Structure 1
Amino acid sequence: MKLTIRKKRNITRIIKKLTFLSIVILIIFTLVASNEITHNQLSRTGQPLNGCLTTDLLPCRDTSHEAILQPFIPNPELNKQQRFLSAIARKLPTIPQPGTYEYILLRAYGAVFVNQDVGIKLPPKDIFANEQETQEFQATLTMGHVDGTNDCYLQKSAADALNKARIQQKIPLKSGYGSGDCTRTFNTNLKFWHKYANDRILAKVQHGQETKILGLVAPPGTSQHLWGLAIDLHVSNKEQIKALNQNSWFQTVENDAPHWTYVGLSEDNLLLFGFNKQVVRGITYWITPL
């Protein structure tokens, strides 16, 4: 009887030891498996990022809702308008409906909304209502000085690109020096509008009855100059144009020859993003396909 009890006690101790050992093995296995999953996740995340860093077509785009950074390339099977809209849909919270005043402005001045330069900031809409709204947006921008000017500032990436072009070629501002050629206030935009137009013409523009004026002056609150992505230059030869184009500066507003826009794309990629190449009186404009 005593022997039987002793055997039972031994068996109980063995079971306890085996149970403890099983628990330890399970914990170790869980930790190893967890570490392997984490490693695999990091590896999968890193591979697309490394590929992005070696992509020459476009720079990576930083977004808060995407797991990885990668360049946006429009689907070449889409038509021009669809390619353009697919690009700006990533930048504008709401795409204006055709026939609206906002759509008319997007067609005239919306080239910047395809910009793939991660260093620039785009406005949330294409019309600022007043000076306060304009200043609130401009206060969020990182600005850079245009070399050789008194007080000409643009968004830093745009200024850096322009400075590189002006190292290659001497390219003066339209006025020669003034801040009015560069980033403008809402009131400066309004002042220019009243110099060439009035409220009656504005009403016609808003209803789609007048568009030629948009190649001369932008309606209040709509100028690319408000966004720090446009400048008026005095360009007189092909070498100057070549230097600007090589640094992503293009003429995008038809009939506004002095006006240059920082698009953040190479000339080859303008076609990929749906732009229309249009030559008017010997000047090449890159027009939105809207």
Structure 2
Amino acid sequence: MKLTIRKQKNITRFFRKASFIGIVIGMIFVLVASNEITHHQFARTAQPLNVCSITGSSPCIDTSKETTSKPFIPNPELNGKQRFLSAVSQKLPTIPQPGTYEYTLLRTYGAVFVNQDVGIKLPPKNILVNEHETQEFQSTLTMVHVDNTNDCYLQKSAADALNKAQVKQHIPLKSGYGSGDCTRTFNTNLRFWQKYANNQTLAKVQQGKETKILGLVAPPGTSQHLWGLAIDLRVGSKEQRKALNQNGWFQTVENDVPHWTYVGLTEDNLPLFGFKKQAIRGIIYWITPL
């Protein structure tokens, strides 16, 4: 009888120890699991810090999107017009309807809207209505000085590409010195228009009755120069053209000889985005397919 009672006490002590050990193990498991969940939650929610430097008055640029953005590639099974518009639709919230003034402008000056360079910024529409709206948009741009000029500035990607071309070939501005060849104000755009045209001409362009003037001067608020993505140059050799083309610069406005547009594509990729190669008086233009 005593032996049985002793055995029972031993068994009781055993189960108490086992129960205590089980509780301890359970607590350890909960703590580890809790720590593991916290770790995974942090891993999912923590974002990498964007480190950028501020030089002079230039704003700090968020490059986190630049490293993850993938360039848009048009469907090669579409026709040229469809490929071009599919690329434009990635940049413009609304595609203008055929026959409208906006559509005419997109056909003439819309080459920049297929640019896949994530470093550039485009306006949400292709007409800036006044100086205030123009300044408001331009204040959001990161501008860089063009080498070998006095006061010529372009959007950073465009300027960097042009400066690379300048390393290979000296390419002077059309005027030789002025900022008017580069990024322009609304009032400068208006002044150029008034030099070559008037309100009656503008009305005809808006009605679709006049388009030749667009190869000479852009209507107020519509110039690629307002966006910091165009420049007027004096180009006289194949070597200069080659250097510009190799760095994403092309002539895209028919008959506007000094005007160069930063498209940011290689020449081989221009047809993929719907551009048509057209030779006019010995100069190669890449025209939109609209």
- Structure 1 and Structure 2 fold alike (TM over 0.5): yes
Establish whether residue 253 from structure 1 lines up as the match of residue 253 from structure 2.
yes
Partner of 2:211: 211
- Taking the aligned partners of 1:67 and 1:184, their CA distance within structure 2 comes to 30
Output one character per residue of 1:165-209: Cα deviation in whole Å (capped at 9) or x when no partner: 223222221112111111111001001111111112212211222
Partner of 1:119: 119
Give the deviation of 1:277 after TM superposition: 0.9
Output one character per residue of 1:216-243: Cα deviation in whole Å (capped at 9) or x when no partner: 1101000000111111111122111111
Matched AA of 1:167: V
Partner of 1:182: 182
Partner of 1:48: none
Unpaired runs of 5+ in structure 2?
Answer: 46-62
Matched AA of 1:229: L
After superposition, the Cα gap between the structure-2 partners of 1:32 and 1:142, relative to the gap in structure 1 and judged at 3 Å, is same
Partner of 2:170: 170
Give the deviation of 1:86 after TM superposition: 2.1
Partner of 2:56: none
Partner of 1:79: 79
- Taking the aligned partners of 1:141 and 1:240, their CA distance within structure 2 comes to 27
- Taking the aligned partners of 1:122 and 1:28, their CA distance within structure 2 comes to 51
- Taking the aligned partners of 1:268 and 1:225, their CA distance within structure 2 comes to 25
Q: How does 1:122-141 map onto structure 2 within 5 Å? A: 122-141=122-141
- Taking the aligned partners of 2:195 and 2:64, their CA distance within structure 1 comes to 41
After superposition, the Cα gap between the structure-2 partners of 1:79 and 1:145, relative to the gap in structure 1 and judged at 3 Å, is same
Which structure 1 residue ranges, 4+ long, deviate > 6 Å from structure 2? Answer: 36-39
**How high is the TM-score relative to the length of structure 1?**
0.83
Deviates further, 140-149 or 6-15: 6-15
Partner of 1:70: 70
Count of aligned residue pairs for this structure pair: 272
CA contact (8 A) 2:182 2:228 kept: yes
- Identical aligned residues as a percent: 69
- Taking the aligned partners of 1:219 and 1:268, their CA distance within structure 2 comes to 31
Give the deviation of 1:32 after TM superposition: 5.2
- Taking the aligned partners of 2:179 and 2:201, their CA distance within structure 1 comes to 27
Establish whether residue 25 from structure 1 lines up as the match of residue 29 from structure 2.
yes
Deviates further, 218-227 or 160-169: 160-169
Matched AA of 1:21: I
SS in 2 for 1:149: coil
- Taking the aligned partners of 2:118 and 2:68, their CA distance within structure 1 comes to 14
Output one character per residue of 1:116-155: Cα deviation in whole Å (capped at 9) or x when no partner: 2222221221110100111111111111222222221111
- Taking the aligned partners of 1:219 and 1:130, their CA distance within structure 2 comes to 12
**How high is the TM-score relative to the length of structure 2?**
0.83
Unpaired runs of 5+ in structure 1?
Answer: 43-61
Partner of 2:283: 283
- Taking the aligned partners of 2:67 and 2:149, their CA distance within structure 1 comes to 41
Aligned residues: CA RMSD = 3.0
Partner of 1:92: 92
SS in 2 for 1:219: coil
- Taking the aligned partners of 2:232 and 2:40, their CA distance within structure 1 comes to 57
- Taking the aligned partners of 1:193 and 1:133, their CA distance within structure 2 comes to 18
CA contact (8 A) 2:69 2:118 kept: no
- Taking the aligned partners of 2:187 and 2:40, their CA distance within structure 1 comes to 60
Name the larger-Rg structure. 2
- Taking the aligned partners of 1:69 and 1:172, their CA distance within structure 2 comes to 34
Match among 13, 18, 35 for residue 14 of structure 1: 18
- Taking the aligned partners of 1:2 and 1:205, their CA distance within structure 2 comes to 111
Partner of 1:109: 109
Deviates further, 151-160 or 249-258: 151-160
Q: How does 1:224-239 map onto structure 2 within 5 Å? A: 224-239=224-239
Give the deviation of 1:36 after TM superposition: 7.5
Give the deviation of 1:2 after TM superposition: 6.8
Deviates further, 166-175 or 191-200: 166-175
Establish whether residue 201 from structure 1 lines up as the match of residue 207 from structure 2.
no
Partner of 1:57: none
Partner of 2:150: 150
CA contact (8 A) 2:251 2:259 kept: yes
Partner of 1:51: none
Give the deviation of 1:72 after TM superposition: 2.4
Matched AA of 2:85: L
Partner of 1:55: none
